[in-house]
Amino acid sequence: MGASVEVSHLNIVAQAGGKDLPIVTDVSFRIEPGEVLALIGESGSGKTTIALSLMGYARQGCRISGGTIRVGDVDVLGLSAGEQRSLRGRTVSYIAQSAAASFNPSRTIMDQVVEVASIHGLMPREQAEAKAVALFRDLALPNPQTIGQRYPHQVSGGQLQRLMAAMALICDPALVILDEPTTALDVTTQIEVLQAFRRVVRERNTTAVYVTHDLAVVAQMADRILVLRQGRQQEQAETRQIIESPQDDYTKSLIAAAKPAPRDAGRLAPDAASTPLLEVRSLIAGYGALDKRGLPASPVLNDVSFTLHRGQALGVIGESGSGKTTLARAIAGLVAPARGQILFDGQALAPEVPGRSRDQLRRVQIVFQMADTALNPAHTIEMLLARPLQLYFGLKGEPLKKRIAQLLDLVQLPAQCAQRLPGGLSGGQKQRVNFARALAAEPDLILCDEVTSALDTVVGAAVLDLLAQLRRELGLSYVFISHDLNTVRAVCDDIVVLYAGNKVESVPRAAFSQAARHPYFELLASSVPELRQGWLDQRSSTSRLALPPMAVGTPPNPELCSFLDRCPLRVSGACDTTAPPRRRLSSDVEILCHRSEADLIALQPASV
What pLDDT, on a 0 to 100 scale, did the predictor assign at position 321? 79
To the nearest 10 degrees (0 to 180), the angle between helices 397-410 and 381-393 is 120
What percent of the chain clears pLDDT 70, i.e. is strictly above it?
A: 94
* Residue bearing the bigger pLDDT, 431 or 310: 310
The model's pLDDT over 372-381, given as tens digits with 9 standing for 90+, comes to 788 999 999 9
What pLDDT, on a 0 to 100 scale, did the predictor assign at position 256? 87
What pLDDT, on a 0 to 100 scale, did the predictor assign at position 605? 63
- Closest Cα partner for 499 from 254, 335, 319? 319
What pLDDT, on a 0 to 100 scale, did the predictor assign at position 461? 79
Using CA atoms, how far apart are residues 604 and 564, in angstroms rounded to an integer? 16
Query: Mean per-residue pLDDT for 316-340?
Result: 92
399-408, 454-463, 558-567: least confident range: 454-463
Query: Mean per-residue pLDDT for 361-377?
Result: 89
Does 553 score more than 50 pLDDT? no
Does 466 score more than 90 pLDDT? no
What pLDDT, on a 0 to 100 scale, did the predictor assign at position 606? 52
pLDDT classification of 555: cutoffs 50, 70, 90: very low
70-84, 164-178, 481-495: least confident range: 481-495
pLDDT classification of 226: cutoffs 50, 70, 90: very high
28-32, 146-150, 196-200: least confident range: 196-200
What pLDDT, on a 0 to 100 scale, did the predictor assign at position 346? 95
Does 458 score more than 80 pLDDT? no
129-143, 169-183, 263-277, 304-318: least confident range: 263-277
Query: Mean per-residue pLDDT for 501-510?
Result: 92
Query: Mean per-residue pLDDT for 476-485?
Result: 89
- Closest Cα partner for 152 from 106, 119, 188? 106
pLDDT classification of 607: cutoffs 50, 70, 90: very low
CATH superfamily of 278-511: P-loop containing nucleotide triphosphate hydrolases (3.40.50.300)
Does 552 score more than 50 pLDDT? no
pTM: predicted TM-score of the whole model, two decimal places: 0.82
Query: Mean per-residue pLDDT for 146-150?
Result: 95
For the chain, the maximum distance between any two Cα atoms, rounded to a whole number of angstroms, is: 75
8 A C-beta contact, residue 31 and residue 207: yes
pLDDT classification of 608: cutoffs 50, 70, 90: very low
8 A C-beta contact, residue 592 and residue 503: yes
Residue type, 169: L
Query: Mean per-residue pLDDT for 487-506?
Result: 92
Does 240 score more than 90 pLDDT? yes
The model's pLDDT over 203-213, given as tens digits with 9 standing for 90+, comes to 888 999 999 88
Does 42 score more than 80 pLDDT? yes
**Residues 4-34, buried b or exposed e (16+ Cβ, 10 A)?**
bbebeebbbbbeeeeeeeebbbebebebeeb
- Closest Cα partner for 137 from 147, 149, 128? 147
Residue type, 533: Q
* Residue bearing the bigger pLDDT, 550 or 345: 345
DSSP letters of 259-328? S-------PPPPPTTSPPSEEEEEEEEEEEEE-TTS-EEEEEEEEEEEEE-TT-EEEEE--TTSSHHHHH
What pLDDT, on a 0 to 100 scale, did the predictor assign at position 550? 47
What percent of the chain clears pLDDT 90, i.e. is strictly above it?
A: 59
What pLDDT, on a 0 to 100 scale, did the predictor assign at position 155? 86
What pLDDT, on a 0 to 100 scale, did the predictor assign at position 271? 62
Does 217 score more than 50 pLDDT? yes
What pLDDT, on a 0 to 100 scale, did the predictor assign at position 538? 82
Query: Mean per-residue pLDDT for 63-67?
Result: 96
Residue type, 528: V
Using CA atoms, how far apart are residues 386 and 379, in angstroms rounded to an integer? 11
pLDDT classification of 121: cutoffs 50, 70, 90: very high
8 A C-beta contact, residue 560 and residue 473: no
What pLDDT, on a 0 to 100 scale, did the predictor assign at position 499? 93
CATH 3.40.50.300, the chain: domain bounds? 5-257, 278-511
Instruction: Tell me which range, 43-57, 504-518, 535-549, is most confidently predicted by mean pLDDT.
Output: 43-57
What pLDDT, on a 0 to 100 scale, did the predictor assign at position 312? 92
What pLDDT, on a 0 to 100 scale, did the predictor assign at position 31? 97
**Domain over 5-257 is classified CATH 3.40.190.10:** no
To the nearest 10 degrees (0 to 180), the angle between helices 397-410 and 427-440 is 130
Does 518 score more than 80 pLDDT? yes
* Mean per-residue pLDDT of the chain: 89
What pLDDT, on a 0 to 100 scale, did the predictor assign at position 356? 97
* Residue bearing the bigger pLDDT, 118 or 516: 118
8 A C-beta contact, residue 129 and residue 170: no
Q: What is the 3 state secondary structure string of 222-241?
A: CCEEEEEECCEEEEEEEHHH
CA distances from 445 to 182, 391, 402, 449, 484 (A): 29, 18, 24, 13, 21
The model's pLDDT over 257-294, given as tens digits with 9 standing for 90+, comes to 887 667 665 555 556 568 999 999 999 999 989 888 88
What pLDDT, on a 0 to 100 scale, did the predictor assign at position 1? 66
- Closest Cα partner for 364 from 350, 384, 376? 350
